[in-house]
């Protein structure tokens, strides 16, 4: 069958996007998803996202990593699917949608998408790092010489060594200013460094505030794929009103022959 797809990117974190409102996609086909995400034999992407109907909100997001398996929340994917829903004329400038971690509100203006993330009530302090869940699990670690750091090698070591089978995404951080951080992320399920990770930069912003590295509740993050901003409120017990904001763009669209 001919499968129509749309390719999106948000700060270089890229996704195959499929309109699955008519239930056309074989959702349990791990091989098919990993083939579509393959950069040499398929379309190429860090993940695949289905846009589906939802009973109570504008649409539902179903996220797969490039390994072909459904996973936890994807922040950049969440921003991209809002741009996709706008392209499909399902939503205008404000929307609410359902994802694996619950309800998300979002805004869209001139290609910039703001996405409200789930509240974070726990940040675990470890010897050289912090661990928190922003919809997906994240290890956050400050390192020297981030530019030349071997993110793949060190990320893989920690992802399996510290977090076992379940794993975690691993974020390496360098402070660039009072409210600005450089971030490089090793992503679980991609098993490599990606150009940017939305739940990851959200985790970094909160972790840096929690550990006193910044006093600002608007944090600028520089990733290899571009710039993001994370705003939040510290409520004493944790963080709420967390908004991740940055660009999300349609790159190209097409059709691909797949076995039905
Ligand atoms: N790229 C994503 C994170 C996707 C989920 C992650 N790989 C996992 O399985 O935990 C983002 O932008 O948040």
* 37 noted as active-site residue: no
Q: What percent of the chain has pLDDT over 90?
A: 98
Residues 87 and 160 in one domain: no
Residues 183 and 207 in one domain: yes
* pLDDT at site 74: 98
Residue in 83, 197, 219, 244 annotated catalytic: 197
Residues 145 and 178 in one domain: yes
- Residue 29's CATH number: 3.10.310.10
pLDDT tens-digit profile of 179-195? 999 999 999 999 999 99
Residues 135 and 100 in one domain: no
* pLDDT at site 259: 85
Residues 94 and 141 in one domain: no
Residues 29 and 54 in one domain: yes
* pLDDT at site 236: 87
Mean per-residue pLDDT for 145-151? 98
Give me ligand 1 centre to Cα 55, in Å.
25
Residues 131 and 229 in one domain: yes
Judge whether residue 150 has pLDDT over 80: yes
C-beta 9 within 6 A of ligand 1: no
Atom of ligand 1 lying closest to residue 137 CA: 10
Residues 135 and 148 in one domain: yes
Residues 7 and 107 in one domain: yes
pLDDT tens-digit profile of 69-126? 999 999 999 999 999 999 999 999 999 999 999 999 999 999 999 999 999 999 999 9
C-beta 42 within 6 A of ligand 1: no
Number of domains in the chain: 2
Residues 39 and 91 in one domain: yes
Residues 202 and 107 in one domain: no
Give me ligand 1 centre to Cα 53, in Å.
22
The secondary structure of the chain as a DSSP string is -EEEEEEEEETTEEEEEEE-TT--S-TT-HHHHHHHH-TTTSS--SEEEEEE--SSSS-EEEEEETTS-B-S--HHHHHHHHHHHHHTTS--SEEEEEETTEEEEEEEETTEEEEEEPPB--EEE-SS-EEEESSSEEEEEE-S-GGG--HHHHHHHHHHHTTTTT--EEEEEEEEETTEEEEEEEETTTTEEES--HHHHHHHHHHHHHTTS---SEEEEEETTEEEEEEEEE-SSSEEEEEEEEE-EEEEEEEEE---
Range of the domain at 50: 2-116+248-257
Residues 196 and 104 in one domain: no
């Amino acid at each position: 069958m001919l499968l129509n797809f749309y390719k999106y990117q948000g700060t270089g974190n890229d996704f195959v996007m499929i309109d699955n409102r008519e239930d056309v996609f074989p959702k349990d086909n791990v091989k098919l998803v990993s083939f579509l995400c393959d950069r040499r034999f398929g379309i190429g992407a860090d993940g695949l996202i289905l846009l589906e109907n939802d009973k109570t909100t504008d649409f539902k997001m179903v996220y797969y990593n490039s390994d072909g398996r459904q996973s936890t929340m994807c922040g950049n994917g969440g921003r991209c699917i809002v741009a996709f829903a706008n392209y499909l004329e399902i939503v205008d400038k404000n929307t609410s949608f359902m994802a694996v971690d619950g309800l998300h509100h979002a805004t869209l203006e001139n290609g910039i998408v703001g996405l409200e993330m789930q509240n974070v009530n726990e940040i675990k302090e470890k010897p050289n790092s912090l661990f928190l869940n922003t919809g997906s699990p994240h290890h956050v670690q400050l390192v020297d010489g981030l530019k030349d750091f071997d993110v793949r090698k060190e990320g893989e070591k920690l992802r399996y060594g510290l977090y076992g089978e379940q794993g975690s995404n691993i974020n390496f951080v360098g402070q660039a200013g009072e409210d600005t951080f450089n971030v490089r992320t090793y992503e679980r399920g991609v098993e490599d460094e990606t150009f940017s990770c939305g739940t990851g930069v959200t985790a970094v912003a909160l972790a840096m505030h929690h550990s006193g590295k910044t006093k600002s509740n608007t944090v600028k993050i520089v990733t290899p794929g571009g710039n993001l901003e994370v705003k939040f409120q510290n409520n004493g017990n944790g963080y709420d009103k967390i908004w991740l904001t940055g660009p999300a763009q349609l790159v190209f669209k097409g059709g691909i022959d797949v076995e039905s």
